[in-house]
Amino acid sequence: MDISQKLARRTEFMQASAIREILKVVAQDGMISLAGGIPAPESFPMGIIKQLTNDVLDEFGSAALQYDKTEGFEPLRVSLIPHLTERGVVNVNMDTLTIFSGSQSVLDLVAKVLITPGDTIAIEAPSYLGAISAFNAYEPNYVSVMTDDDGIIPESLEAVLKENDVKLIYLVPTFQNPTGRTLSLERRKRVAELVKQYDVLVLEDDPYSALRYSGTALPPLQQFTPEHVVYSSTFSKILAPGLRIGYCVAPKALARWLVIAKQGNDLHTQSFGQAIAALYLSGGYLTEHLPNIIELYRPRRDAMLATLENCMPEGFRWTHPEGGMFLWVEGPAGFDGDDLYHACIKRNVAFVPGKYFYFDESLGIATMRFNFTMVTEDVIEKAVRTVAETAQQLLA
């Protein structure tokens, strides 16, 4: 049978992630990788998880292993309400909060219930690729909103909203992947105004805000216009990504549709992992463990910033993220991040060329994404020195 003759039209818009292909290349022995986007395994609370797997069976018994409500495991939803309220999310209740199989599944299902082929999604340039890969299956058009060091530029957003019938805006306002940038408070308010004015929905993807190493926490965009925002987050960066526990707070009528769509998608998110996450919150373990993660990552960020400062050739600039997992480097005009990537690979250092994070790759030729959470400070210093030397040679 020729499967290619049987495929749905939407497969024309779907493809394997280019970055996943890069990650396969850089997984070779001896390679120092600043390419990945995953938490350091030493950030996982292994002892706590070991204890909680036992506690879960003692406390919830077979309920942690049985079919469950599509909306999510009730003790987890109950525990999340005060947690999210403390984070500044508003309108968090049993009608608006739903658990999903990782925040990737939130991205998928929000697009599934909102996007008819040809509808327009506005994305940041650059943006998180996993979102594009979720959205593509629903055959949207994309329009790009320009960004600077304070996140998306409201004037650019307004122009986009004026010129296009935008169905959904996708934003990572805090410690964005790939740039590490954070949307300023003033801009959050302005974006909320625009969103209300144009009556458009925003998907606010917030996987990283708990990982703050300096500066002051900002309220989520959702706080300023909850009826227009789906606030999405995850346990992947504060507990363990392999459990695949994400969630969102959505306007009630939309939350109802997300549950109906999720019922067809996967019935419900696995109960056992939800039960672990419930006890992780309600037992105070997150409060106990989060400082360990922050103390692990902060020196790594600092080491990367210090080495960039000491070593990078003139003409390069980079972001100074207050949290998260990435920073973003931009070379001088005419510089090619892909050339640097290939030259560095030969010296056993990897990162991701920034162009892959743009819908229009030509906008990101000079850019690069560096992850600072996966390797120790001394390895980061060595890797960034190698990148800097190689960049110098390419410029010469």
Report DSSP state, residue 362: G
Residue 314 beta carbon to a copy of itself: minimum distance, rounded to whole angstroms: 37
What is the residue type of 109? L
Residue 244 and residue 101 in contact, taking contact as beta carbons nearer than 8 Å: yes
DSSP 237-299: TTT-GGG-EEEEE--HHHHHHHHHHHHHHHSS--HHHHHHHHHHHHTTHHHHHHHHHHHHHHH
User: Given the complex with a copy of itself, which of 102 and 331 has the nearer CB atom?
Assistant: 102
User: Given the complex with a copy of itself, which of 119 and 377 has the nearer CB atom?
Assistant: 119
User: Given the complex with a copy of itself, which of 71 and 206 has the nearer CB atom?
Assistant: 71
**What is the C-alpha separation between 212 and 197, in angstroms, rounded?**
32
Residue 98 beta carbon to a copy of itself: minimum distance, rounded to whole angstroms: 14
Alpha helices in 115-184 (DSSP H): 129-136, 154-163
**What is the C-alpha separation between 179 and 164, in angstroms, rounded?**
26
Residue 62 beta carbon to a copy of itself: minimum distance, rounded to whole angstroms: 4
**What is the C-alpha separation between 331 and 346, in angstroms, rounded?**
20
Residue 296 beta carbon to a copy of itself: minimum distance, rounded to whole angstroms: 14
Residue 147 beta carbon to a copy of itself: minimum distance, rounded to whole angstroms: 23
User: Given the complex with a copy of itself, which of 247 and 335 has the nearer CB atom?
Assistant: 247
**What is the C-alpha separation between 217 and 36, in angstroms, rounded?**
26
User: Given the complex with a copy of itself, which of 89 and 255 has the nearer CB atom?
Assistant: 255
344-380: b (≥16 Cβ within 10 Å) or e: bbeeebbbbbbbbbbbeeebbbbbbbbbbbbbebebb
Residue 105 beta carbon to a copy of itself: minimum distance, rounded to whole angstroms: 5
- Do the strands 326-330 and 367-371 form a parallel or antiparallel pair, or are they unpaired? antiparallel
**What is the C-alpha separation between 392 and 394, in angstroms, rounded?**
5
Residue 244 beta carbon to a copy of itself: minimum distance, rounded to whole angstroms: 4
User: Given the complex with a copy of itself, which of 232 and 236 has the nearer CB atom?
Assistant: 236
**What is the C-alpha separation between 64 and 37, in angstroms, rounded?**
30
DSSP 22-60: HHHHTTSTT-EES---S--GGGS-HHHHHHHHHHHHHHH
User: Given the complex with a copy of itself, which of 85 and 263 has the nearer CB atom?
Assistant: 263
Q: How far is CA 298 from the centre of its chain?
A: 18
User: Given the complex with a copy of itself, which of 261 and 311 has the nearer CB atom?
Assistant: 261
Residue 317 beta carbon to a copy of itself: minimum distance, rounded to whole angstroms: 30
Q: At 372, which helix (H) or strand (E)?
A: none
User: Given the complex with a copy of itself, which of 219 and 241 has the nearer CB atom?
Assistant: 241
- Do the strands 120-125 and 97-101 form a parallel or antiparallel pair, or are they unpaired? unpaired
Residue 235 beta carbon to a copy of itself: minimum distance, rounded to whole angstroms: 11
